[in-house]
């Protein structure tokens, strides 16, 4: 029998979606550790936790801190040394294994991610724009008064309807159910167990809990810092909407099913979110509108990908029971995904207008290397794992060699989407630690670093 999670001591967004539709992210640099700790003490009561709400708050925050941010706050070397290599190195240093090359290479990133560097991520969530702006002003005023921190990047805020992204697809499906979270699991969110679906062990996402291997994930000392914490991946991804539309239209001109059908095959869901595996020929509002059905599918009886291509985006990021991923291998690479689109939408049929638009992608996991980096490098960037050769994910694959890579839509005969061009470019990112409330209190109480 598994223990329930310590929900009041877990930052809420690590476990549950808030349904607070307005959000803004601030990226901070720490110049003075004592000032940063003082600010943390000031805003601890604003942090939203995973404890159930009796009344939905108007707004709140969540916090994450990079390795260099923890150092700047004065965390002792004995604790810093306990963090894994992936987190200590940071995202820019691991660009090669992520496929962040060419236009996505760190030297092309927005300057703040490299100099002076991002130390703290403040995520503000609110019920409406007025509440968001009020909370944003309060946080900025406190930062200015602290004298030891500075905002190093303009805020990111959503400008699209909730649940949509710039390429025109509904998003936010297929979050893993977490054991002990006190949230009723829905079919398809966890792991198949022969009698339906069971939740994923909490240790895949949170430190201090048993994982799918039946052990506690590695964690830094002391427990007061680490338990209830999670590692957060933050990536600002620019979407070239005009290029995506042109690539899709060009390929669809030769595809018998037409543009919308091909778009669904590329993603694995129709634009409204209907899973192609459940409805391969058309969207089905009855399926996508039913939380008990819109994620309740597997690929076990579609090994060749005739309904949902093996190389479709959603099948790559979560192969479920696809061969050769039966059993707990897939469960060891699951991610809790969070994030928001940013920038104004590009009107239908319009050429590129030069505006910056895209999505801030975030994932939470107990191992950056085993979960996020594995999925990015092995499942999105490479086709060998899926017996697809050089095929890449048409959305997030790196396409290092423009005009070479492709995606295959199985059939008689198969259809090849390509040559693929880059439609998503990394503009910056970092790896963060998202402490539990106990960890935030531990950091706030530090006196000196050693």
Which whole-number Å values give the CA distances from 178 to 21, 196, 211, 217, in the listed order? 23, 15, 11, 15
- Specify the residue for token string 């995904």: 337
Q: pLDDT at position 320, please?
A: 87
Average pLDDT along the chain, 450 residues, taken 10 residues at a time: 83 89 93 97 97 93 98 97 98 96 95 94 94 96 95 75 85 88 85 80 97 96 98 97 96 96 98 96 96 91 94 93 66 90 93 95 97 94 85 80 77 93 95 98 80
Q: For 343, which DSSP code?
A: S
Query: Is the whole model's pTM more than 0.75, yes or no?
Result: yes
Q: pLDDT at position 449, please?
A: 43
**Residue (of 235, 220, 379) closest to 313 by Cα position:** 379
Q: pLDDT at position 1, please?
A: 38
Instruction: Say how far apart CA 397 and CA 93 lie, in whole Å.
Output: 19
**Residue (of 161, 160, 183, 159) closest to 50 by Cα position:** 183
Q: pLDDT at position 226, please?
A: 98
Q: pLDDT at position 328, please?
A: 64
Q: Is 270 left (phi over 0), alpha (psi -120 to 50) or beta?
A: beta
Q: H helices of 84-154, where? A: 85-89, 95-98, 129-146
Q: In sequence order, what are the beta bridge partners of 407?
A: 417
**Residue (of 408, 416, 402) closest to 101 by Cα position:** 402
């Amino acid at each position: 029998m598994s223990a329930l999670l310590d929900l009041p001591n877990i930052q809420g967004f690590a476990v549950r979606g808030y349904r607070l539709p307005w959000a803004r992210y601030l990226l901070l640099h720490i110049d003075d550790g004592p000032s940063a700790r003082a600010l943390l003490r000031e805003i601890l009561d604003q942090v939203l936790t995973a404890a159930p709400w009796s009344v939905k708050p108007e707004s709140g925050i969540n916090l994450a801190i990079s390795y260099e941010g923890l150092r700047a706050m004065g965390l002792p070397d004995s604790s810093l040394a306990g963090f894994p290599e992936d987190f200590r190195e940071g995202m820019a240093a691991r660009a090669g294994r992520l496929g962040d090359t060419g236009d996505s290479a760190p030297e092309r990133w927005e300057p703040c991610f490299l100099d002076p560097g991002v130390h703290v991520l403040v995520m503000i969530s609110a019920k409406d724009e007025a509440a968001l702006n009020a909370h944003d002003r309060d946080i900025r005023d406190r930062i200015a008064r602290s004298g030891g921190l500075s905002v190093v990047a303009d805020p990111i805020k959503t400008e699209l309807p909730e649940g949509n992204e710039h390429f025109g697809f509904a998003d936010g499906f297929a979050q893993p159910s977490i054991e002990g979270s006190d949230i009723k699991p829905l079919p398809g969110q966890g792991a198949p167990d022969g009698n339906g679906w069971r939740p994923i062990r909490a240790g895949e996402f949170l430190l201090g809990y048993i994982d799918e291997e039946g052990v506690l994930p590695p964690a830094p000392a002391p427990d007061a810092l680490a338990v209830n914490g999670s590692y957060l991946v933050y990536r600002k991804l620019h979407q070239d909407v005009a290029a995506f539309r042109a690539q899709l239209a060009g390929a669809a001109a030769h595809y018998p099913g037409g543009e919308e059908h091909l778009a669904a095959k590329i993603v694995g869901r129709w634009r409204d979110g209907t899973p192609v595996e459940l409805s391969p020929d058309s969207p089905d509002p009855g399926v996508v509108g039913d939380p008990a059905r819109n994620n309740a599918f597997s690929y076990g009886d579609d090994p060749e990908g005739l309904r949902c291509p093996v190389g479709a985006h959603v099948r790559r990021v979560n192969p479920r029971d696809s061969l050769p991923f039966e059993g707990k291998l897939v469960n060891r690479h699951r991610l809790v995904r969070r994030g928001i689109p940013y920038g104004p939408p590009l009107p239908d049929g319009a050429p590129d207008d030069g505006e910056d638009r895209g999505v801030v992608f975030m994932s939470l996991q107990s191992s950056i290397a085993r979960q996020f980096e594995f999925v990015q490098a092995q499942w999105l960037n490479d086709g060998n794992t899926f017996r697809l050769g050089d095929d890449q994910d048409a959305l997030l694959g790196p396409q290092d060699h423009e005009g070479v890579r492709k995606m295959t839509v199985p059939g008689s005969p198969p259809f090849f989407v390509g040559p693929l061009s880059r439609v998503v470019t990394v503009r910056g990112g970092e790896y963060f630690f998202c402490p539990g409330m106990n960890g935030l209190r531990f950091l706030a109480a530090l006196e000196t670093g050693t």
